[in-house]
Structure formats: C-alpha cells, structure tokens
Amino acid sequence: MKALTKAEEQIMQILWDLKEGYVKEVLDKMDDPKPAYNTVSTFIRILETKGFVKHRPIGKSHQYYPIVTKDEYRSFSIRRLLSGYFGGSFTKMASFFAKEENLDAKEIERIMEEVKKDVK
C-alpha cells in the first residue's frame, strides 16, 4: 500500500465517513474555504487510479466508494509509525506514550482493562 498525500487523505476521510458519495456530496462535507468542484473530482479520480476508490455509474453520474477500508489504512499507518520510530514494537510506543503523559500504574491498568474488554 502506498501512503496518501495530505489532500488525498482529506478526501478519503470523507469517503470513509460517507461510505459512498457523489463528488458534490464530498465537496459539501469539506471545510471552508471549499475547493472547486473540479479539484475534488480530480482527487477522487487520482484515488481511483491509485486503487483506493471505485465507482458505480448511476445514470450518467458516478457514485464513489472506498475499496481500501479505513481500518486497512489505519493499520498501515500504525505500522509505519512503529517501524520508523519504535523499532517495530507496540510496547515501546505504549511506554513512550505513558511516560509522556505521566500515566501512573493505575491509569495504565485502566487502559488495559478497557482494551481487554474491547478485544473480547
């Protein structure tokens, strides 16, 4: 998988959120100052050639949807961070974060319980 550029990522975030959408709908979700309709259209077509998005023709128009899921990209992003900055170890990252946030043993445990509950 290839990393998204910043502008591409913005569009993907919206498409992940919408599940599917027309260019217009994506544009509507964008923050002001909104880019031109064609700018969004161009990026979506770039994302399509990069294999992140597909479309189904609806009449003459296109409805776009993600084919790379947000979870897949999440996973890719975590792994990139881990390998670049924590020797590939999640434990190292967690320790780093805990130290930085001054988490004490109690708080670490609370997080762990939450994770355990969630994993079930």
By the 10 Å C-beta count (0-12 exposed, 13-18 middle, 19+ buried), 5 is classed as exposed
Site size toward DNA (CB under 7 A) is 21
Q: Does 94 bind its own copies (CB under 8 A)?
A: yes
| Omega cis (within 30) before 33 | yes
Answer with the entry of DNA, its own copies, none that 35 interacts with (C-beta below 5 to 8 A by kind): DNA
**Residues within the interface to DNA (CB under 7 A):** 5-8, 22-24, 35-39, 41-43, 45-46, 59-62
**Residues within the interface to its own copies (CB under 8 A):** 9, 13, 70-71, 73-75, 77-78, 81, 84-86, 90-91, 93-101, 103-105, 108-109, 111-112, 114-116, 118-119
